[in-house]
Amino acid sequence: MAGRRQGHSGSATRESRSRADSTAIHQAITAAQAAGIGPLTSHTGLTVRLPGSGDLVAYLADEDVDVRDAKSLAEAERHARAQAWAYLEVFRSLPGAENARIVTTGPQLGVRESRHVLTRKELSDNFALSGTQDPGMVAAGAWPVEYHPGAGKPSQWEMIGGPGYYGIPLDALISRDTPNLFAAGRLLDGERKAAASLRVMGTSFATGQAAGVAAAQHSRRNLDLHAVQAELQRQDARLPL
Ligand SMILES: Cc1cc2nc3c(=O)[nH]c(=O)nc-3n(C[C@H](O)[C@H](O)[C@H](O)COP(=O)(O)OP(=O)(O)OC[C@H]3O[C@@H](n4cnc5c(N)ncnc54)[C@H](O)[C@@H]3O)c2cc1C
């Protein structure tokens, strides 16, 4: 599906040694919402204290956005930045963080999903979830389905069955109608749940490497599945064939 997918807008606050664990942050957000402070879309998220500076990185703000639509994207960017300031107020309510300030926010929204390249083989949800092995495999996908249904809603997780990974075939990387176009990473063609597993960084590295090898062979007019697999093995790709 191309459309409503949310991104996080990361913000960082610098403060003295405040009590900023997830329980305290959750309680502070709930109290702030009750007091009419906002916009605040999420009660929980990821907060990490950086070594060295002691700054706190907070991934809290979610947005529903259709990045194919400039108006939707502009509105989501504006709303996310309003959220960053509202979350700053939340942090300032924590003991020891009264003087917290924003050091930086992300330059743009992070987007989990928008368009996909239509490839010769779209990966179905069942293909990924059942841990399907495919003789045409050129990369492994092992991350669970991690679907984010919308702003402020909890992520939905489903583990990969079978051996715990599925084999991504070469045909899943080749455009359906443009033979010299290869897809990798987040662009890959998968149904909703399959795409929610395919999109992560480790799998993007693996499919990117495979797409690169295949594209190089295609440019020499000798694209061949077994040669792609052999070259990936030679490059020490994690290809359990
Ligand atoms: C909020 C958020 C949190 C996430 N957390 C995690 C996580 O914890 N772990 C994880 O594994 N994944 C996570 N992901 C997913 C992961 O970050 C992405 O799905 C993944 O990085 C996609 O990789 P990619 O190579 O397909 O695309 P990208 O990493 O976006 O790479 C595409 C590159 O192409 C470049 N580019 C674009 N257009 C052009 C052009 N015309 N010419 C040249 N270059 C161009 C871009 O600048 C970019 O560098 C998260 C995503 C989001 C949004």
pLDDT of residue 241: 77
Band (pLDDT 50/70/90 cuts) for residue 45 is: confident
Residue 2 has pLDDT above 80, yes or no: no
Residue 193 has pLDDT above 90, yes or no: yes
How large is the average pLDDT for residues 66-79?
A: 96
Q: Does residue 203 sit within a domain?
A: yes
Q: Do 135 and 105 fall into the same domain?
A: no
Average confidence score pLDDT of the chain:
91
Q: Do 223 and 142 fall into the same domain?
A: yes
Ligand 1 in reach of 185 Cβ (< 6 A): yes
Q: Does residue 118 sit within a domain?
A: no
Band (pLDDT 50/70/90 cuts) for residue 22 is: confident
pLDDT of residue 6: 40
CB contact set of 234 (below 8 Å; sequence gap of 6+): none
Of all protein residues, the one whose alpha carbon is nearest to atom 1 of ligand 1 is 8
Name the residue among 54, 49, 38, 55 with its Cα closest to residue 102.
Answer: 55
Q: Does residue 29 sit within a domain?
A: yes
Residue 183 has pLDDT above 70, yes or no: yes
Residue 101's DSSP bridge partners are 14
Number of domains in the chain: 2
Residue to substitute in 204, 205, 207, 209 for testing ligand 1 pocket (most ligand atoms within 8 angstroms of CB): 204
Ligand 1 in reach of 7 Cβ (< 6 A): yes
Rounded Cα–Cα distance for residues 156 and 64 (Å): 16
The last residue of one of the domains, among 81, 111, 141, is 111
* Amino acid (one-letter) located at 119: T
Residue 232 has pLDDT above 50, yes or no: yes
How large is the average pLDDT for residues 32-38?
A: 94
- C-beta atoms surrounding 65 within 10 Å: 24
Q: Which atom of ligand 1 is nearest to the CA of 8?
A: 1
Q: Do 230 and 132 fall into the same domain?
A: yes
Contact assessment for residue 20 and residue 97, using Cβ atoms and an 8 Å cutoff? yes
pLDDT of residue 8: 42
Q: Do 129 and 230 fall into the same domain?
A: yes
Rounded Cα–Cα distance for residues 135 and 170 (Å): 10
Q: Do 35 and 131 fall into the same domain?
A: no
Q: Do 103 and 141 fall into the same domain?
A: no
Q: What is the pLDDT of residues 87-112, one digit of tens each?
A: 999 999 999 999 999 999 999 999 99
- pTM of the shown model: 0.88
CATH of the domain at 33: 3.30.70
The last residue of one of the domains, among 82, 111, 140, is 111
The last residue of one of the domains, among 89, 111, 133, is 111
Ligand 1 in reach of 148 Cβ (< 6 A): no
Of all protein residues, the one whose alpha carbon is nearest to atom 51 of ligand 1 is 112
Two tokens at 145?
């389905």
Q: Do 29 and 104 fall into the same domain?
A: yes
Q: Do 134 and 94 fall into the same domain?
A: no
Q: Which burial class, exposed, middle or buried, applies to 84 when counting CB atoms under 10 A from its CB (0-12, 13-18, 19+)?
A: buried
Ligand 1 in reach of 111 Cβ (< 6 A): yes
Rounded Cα–Cα distance for residues 21 and 56 (Å): 11
pLDDT of residue 11: 43
Ligand 1 in reach of 116 Cβ (< 6 A): no
Longest dimension (CA), the chain: 66
pLDDT of residue 3: 28
- Start-to-end CA span in the chain (Å): 31
Judged by DSSP in three states, 96 sits in coil
> Which residues form the domain of 142?
125-234
